[in-house]
Structure 1
Amino acid sequence: LSVGSLTGLASVWASTLATQTMAEDVHWTVMVLTALAVGTAAGVVNGLIIAYGKVVSFIATLAMMIAARGLAEMISGRQTQVVSVDGFLDFFRADVIGVPVLVWIFAVVAVAGWFLFNRTTFGRRTVAVGGNLEASRLAGIKVQRHLLYVYALSGLTAGIAGVMMLGRTTAGTSTNGLYYELEVIAAVVVGGTLLIGGRGTIVGTVIGVLIFAMLTNVFTINNLSISAQNVAKGAIIVVAVLLQQRFARRSAST
């Protein structure tokens, strides 16, 4: 639940006057590293609270969602922080063989996620832990440490999203990533990942993201209000979950 707020916090922290000044004195990648560090650190905090503090993930990430958004507002003073570092702007506005850099970043992250999930021990352990914590523990997986790694990875990707948002909008604000947690859940569910855990694919999630991006564009072109868009997306989530449950019961019966 905290990924949207972490995206906003990362974008705000990376675009503060102090960070941008350092970026101009050293290199524009300072802004990128700052956003990634902020996202990862928040993810580690989530992981520690959930894995070692035994707090339910819903409550822990809900608390982080509120706290991260509040911290972003404090840092920015609820003001928009415009990016003025030329190197940063030039990089994220560039095209590679006619394709925007932001699209390439999305593709690289998706491919890296697919490889990690499908071709490494970490990915197989993630599926096992998501399916059954106790069985994973009995199988010799260090469940607590693995959960910490997973939440840290989630925070890292939220930091990447914050950087991409900075590159697209050229401004850091505490409202960046607002309600993105709902978009994320919707895309993952539509992509076939079970909310109860144990099954999911990166390819499915990417397809879910593209479906919702396409729907948002269609809604915008047809001048559908934000409220109506949220109602439609909420309905899609409910239908996707109902279909998941039906398929799960059918699989269990066979």
Structure 2
Amino acid sequence: MDTGAGRNLGLVAVLVVLVVIGVSTADTFATTSNLLTILTSASIIGVITVGVTVVIIGGGIDLSVGKVMALASVWATTLATQAYGPVVMVFCALAVGAGCGLVSGTLIAYGRIVPFIATLAMLISAQGLAERISGKRSQIVTDPTIAAIATTRVLGIPLLVYIFAAVVAVGWVLLNRTTFGRRTFAIGGNPEAARLAGLHVRRHTLLLYVISGLCCGIAAIMIASLTTTGSSTHGTLYELDAIAAVIIGGTLLTGGRGTLIGSILGVLVFTTITNLFILNNLATEVQNIAKGLIIVAAVLFQSRARRADT
């Protein structure tokens, strides 16, 4: 069986086990309301994870996604921005996200700065700028159209879940059915060989970070609608959750191999674990320990699979 398909089936099996545990330990776990809560919670971090997956497959890393989302949410919800209506708010969030990705990508691709350092600097800068713009206060979403995104349901399913599904679908097609996706895998696997083959490695790397930033912009509108606020506190540790989901989903941190479906299954695993802990009134620190053990197990499995391939 293909390693990626086998890993995805393994993650599905983990989800099934978690569902069994949830049904056994919490009466409200299997209710429609709770299952939709899990999907809604997974939607925002899931959209960010799509961008992070693309970057990591391309051989990079993006530590700034959480705070880029926060900055985009703050900028999109200032009084001046909201005065122009929902279209401008959405455009602002996307522009801020893409702009941050453009800066990070330029520093990495053309400034030859290590991705870890460049995106860490972006994380710190985005956090500071978000606090400066908002005055460290939450900004209330007053536009009814933006506020309605989180409360709107289509066929009983929240609109946020549809947005998440649409982003995943676009990301999957981009990675698996386009020349851009093939180049991403090639550059992540061996950038020097890709360069010798005639690929524009720097330009492509730049675009990967812009895509990650766009995902942050989309997530910013989603979280602003869900919480009815734009805040510099949004997205705290989202980068770690997204990277963890990508890792247990089977994407190599060194780039060149990975699956978007695996990353999304990783998001669902972590979100379900969090939901189980909340329903059973278990301490947050125990939840974090459980997540850490899962990440270690995934990395060990990944290393074993690589050795088996070689």
User: Could you tell me how far 1:229 is from its partner in structure 2?
Assistant: 2.2
Shift of 1:172: 0.8
| Structure 1 counterpart of 2:91 | 33
Give the TM-score normalised by structure 1: 0.95
Q: Paired residue for 1:155, among 213, 223, 241?
A: 213
Paired residue type of 1:215: I
Q: How does 1:29-68 map to 2 (within 5 A)?
A: 29-68=87-126
Partners of 1:29 and 1:241 in 2: CA distance = 42
Q: Are 1:17 and 2:104 matched, yes or no?
A: no
Query: For each residue in 1:156-205, what CA deviation from the matched residue of structure 2 results, as whole angstroms up to 9, or x when unmatched?
Result: 00111111111111111101000000100111011110111111111111
Aligned residue for 1:6? 68
Secondary structure of the 1:103 match is helix
Percent of matched pairs sharing the same residue: 56
Q: After superposition, where does 1:130-149 map in structure 2 within 5 Å?
A: 130-149=188-207
Distance 2:231 2:280 in 1: 28
In 1, distance between residues paired with 2:237 and 2:298?
19
Deviation at 1:92, TM superposition (A): 3.3
Could you tell me whether the CA contact under 8 Å between 2:98 and 2:217 is conserved in 1? yes
Give the distance between the partners of 2:80 and 2:111, measured in 1 at CA: 34
Alignment match, 2:157: 99
Single out whichever of 121-130 and 80-89 deviates more from structure 2.
80-89
TM-superposed CA distance for 1:226, in Å, is 2.7
Letter in 2 for 1:244: Q
| Counterpart in the other structure of 1:114 | 172
Looking at structure 2, the residues matched to 226 and 175 of structure 1 have their Cα atoms a distance apart, in angstroms, of: 18
2:287 to 202, 211, 229: 229
Instruction: Report the CA distance between 1:245 and its aligned residue.
Output: 0.7
The Cα of 1:223 is off from its aligned counterpart by: 1.9
CA shift at 1:243, angstroms?
A: 1.0
Count of residues paired in the alignment: 248
Displacement of 1:118 in angstroms is 0.3
Alignment of 1:162-177 (within 5 A): 162-177=220-235
Given that 1:29 and 1:88 are in contact with CA atoms closer than 8 Å, whether structure 2 keeps it comes out as: no
- C-alpha displacement of 1:227: 2.8
Q: Which has the higher contact order (CA 8 A, sep 6+)?
A: 2
Contact 2:149 2:222 in 1 (8 A): no
1:165-244 equivalences under 5 Å are 165-244=223-302
Instruction: Give the superposition deviation at 1:83.
Output: 0.4
CA RMSD of aligned residues (A): 1.0
Misfit runs of 4+, over 4 Å:
none
Query: Which stretches in structure 1 are left out of the alignment for 5+ residues?
Result: none
Give the Cα separation in 2 of the matches to 1:146 and 1:9.
Answer: 25
What is the alpha-carbon distance in structure 1 between the residues aligned to residue 122 and residue 228 of structure 2?
25
Q: Is the 8 A contact 1:117 1:124 kept in 2?
A: yes
2:241 and 2:300 map into 1 onto residues whose CA distance is 18
Letter in 2 for 1:113: G
For residue 90 of structure 1, report the CA deviation from its aligned partner: 2.3
Per the alignment, in what secondary structure is the counterpart of residue 68 of structure 1? helix
Q: Provide the C-alpha distance between the structure 1 equivalents of 2:68 and 2:284, rounded to a whole number of angstroms.
A: 22
1:69 pairs with 2:127: yes
3-state DSSP of counterpart to 2:220: helix
* One-letter amino acid of the counterpart of residue 3, structure 1: V
Q: Is the 8 A contact 2:65 2:239 kept in 1?
A: yes
In the alignment, structure 2 segments of 5+ residues that lack a partner are: 1-62
TM-superposed CA distance for 1:220, in Å, is 1.4
Separation (CA, whole Å) in 2 of partners of 1:218 and 1:92: 23
Shift of 1:50: 0.1
Tell me the secondary structure at the aligned position of residue 22 of structure 1. Answer: coil
Asked whether the 8 Å contact 1:5–1:69 carries over to 2, the reply is yes
